[in-house]
Structure 1
Amino acid sequence: MTREGALLVIVAVALALIGVAVWAWSRRRRRDSGLAAPVGELPSGAKTLAEHEVLYVATTRHDEPLERLAIEGLGFRSRADLTVTDAGVALDLTGLPRLFLARDRILTVDQATVAIDRVVEKDGLVRVAWQIDPDTLVDSYFRPQNSSARVLAAQLGALTTTTGTDS
């Protein structure tokens, strides 16, 4: 095979892989189109308990850390500011409107090691299980940048009645 022929084969394979990835993501977006991120501001009078710089890792189906959901605003990893208040959690992802998880949506908070494409030291991620709608429970994963995962999990866990550790 000539050099040009080999180059054409490589380019064709690369384009086919990109096409499959685009097709798969569009199917995932259609599948998850009924789910919406909770866009909103903090309620007036909410008391700020803590603020953290975090890496937002992903939102997945509950207890399925490798099944990313394609929810508008929560589909991709991003730097974020996470504000813990007595009313819930505000999440400011870079370039997106503020998301607010009311306290009654948050079911459990624990620590994890794996989420999709992120593997960290034992218990290096914080996993928040929350209701995105009345029928769907999801997990969102955060990697604290300026504090430990244990500290963030404890602060978020104070909003719920259930906390724990997951390897």
Structure 2
Amino acid sequence: MTPATLPAAGLVTVLADERKSATVTDWGGRIGWLVGLALFVALVYWLMREGWKWRGTLQSDLPELPSAPEETGPAKLELSGRYHGSTTAGQWLDRIVAHGLGTRSRVQLTLTDAGLEVERPGATDFFVPAGALRGARLDKGIAGKVLTEGGLLVVTWAHGDKEIDSGFRSDHAAEHTEWVETLNHMINDTEGAR
């Protein structure tokens, strides 16, 4: 007899006979997959770290970053915010990692007649002399960070024979316009004096 021709009581008995108990969890298989996944994640992390170190090796021709002189004069502008990294000027995806320039951090910028002082807690501080400043603009992105239009202050400066774009974001984005105007005015005055 088929289940269709059985009376209702018989149908329940046939269906109950067809049920099977749940399979027991294969702990060995699950643990194997978890170990394999953990090893894969560790491999990817290690490859990313090696790539970062290799990029730093390729950029080892970049000279050491200058430090601020003892006397820089009174501050024209100050900014507290975030440092998002540096790239080769005009190439917003070509990140520079040598000498800690690729390390994101909090930042305290101070602009004086002597130049731009970049203080970064937990990362290397550096100083950009006024004669090395090349320009400032508002932009929307730099390697690894994309914001709304005009959300990033990008300062272009010369270091050795390379021009560098460094990206900053103030805690108060309204300050960016004043920084661009002041920096570009200062750069034009410096170039006019040469």
The one-letter amino acid paired with 1:106 is: L
RMSD: 2.0
| Residue from 137, 151, 158 that aligns with 2:163 | 137
> Per-residue deviation at 1:72?
1.4
Residue 112 of structure 1: aligned partner: 139
The one-letter amino acid paired with 1:108 is: G
Residue 44 of structure 1: aligned partner: 71
- Quote the Cα distance in structure 2 between the aligned partners of 1:97 and 1:118: 20
Is 1:63 matched up with 2:83?
no
Residue 150 of structure 2: aligned partner: 123
Higher relative contact order (CA 8 A, sep 6+): 1
- Quote the Cα distance in structure 2 between the aligned partners of 1:75 and 1:114: 15
Trace 1:51-90 onto structure 2 (pairs within 5 A): 51-90=78-117
Is the strand fraction higher in 1 or 2?
Answer: 1
Instruction: Answer yes or no: is the 8 Å Cα contact 2:72–2:113 preserved in 1.
Output: no
In structure 1, the gaps of 5 or more residues are 163-167
> Per-residue deviation at 1:50?
1.2
In structure 2, the gaps of 5 or more residues are 1-25, 190-194
* Structure 1 range deviating more: 10-19 or 153-162: 153-162
Q: Rate the CA distance shift 1:97–1:22 in 2: closer, same or farther, 3 A.
A: closer
Note the alpha carbon deviations across 1:77-100, whole angstroms, 9 max, x for none. Answer: 110110011121111111345421
Residue 182 of structure 2: aligned partner: 155
The one-letter amino acid paired with 1:63 is: G
Instruction: Answer yes or no: is the 8 Å Cα contact 2:105–2:123 preserved in 1.
Output: no
Instruction: Answer yes or no: is the 8 Å Cα contact 1:60–1:140 preserved in 2.
Output: yes
SS at match of 1:52: strand
Greater gyration radius: 2
> Per-residue deviation at 1:46?
2.3
Aligned length: 161
Instruction: Answer yes or no: is the 8 Å Cα contact 2:151–2:173 preserved in 1.
Output: no
Is 1:22 matched up with 2:36?
no
> Per-residue deviation at 1:103?
0.8
Identity among equivalent pairs (%): 23
The one-letter amino acid paired with 2:162 is: T
> Per-residue deviation at 1:137?
0.9
Is the helix fraction higher in 1 or 2?
Answer: 2
- Quote the Cα distance in structure 2 between the aligned partners of 1:37 and 1:78: 19
Instruction: Answer yes or no: is the 8 Å Cα contact 2:99–2:124 preserved in 1.
Output: no
Q: Rate the CA distance shift 1:45–1:114 in 2: closer, same or farther, 3 A.
A: closer
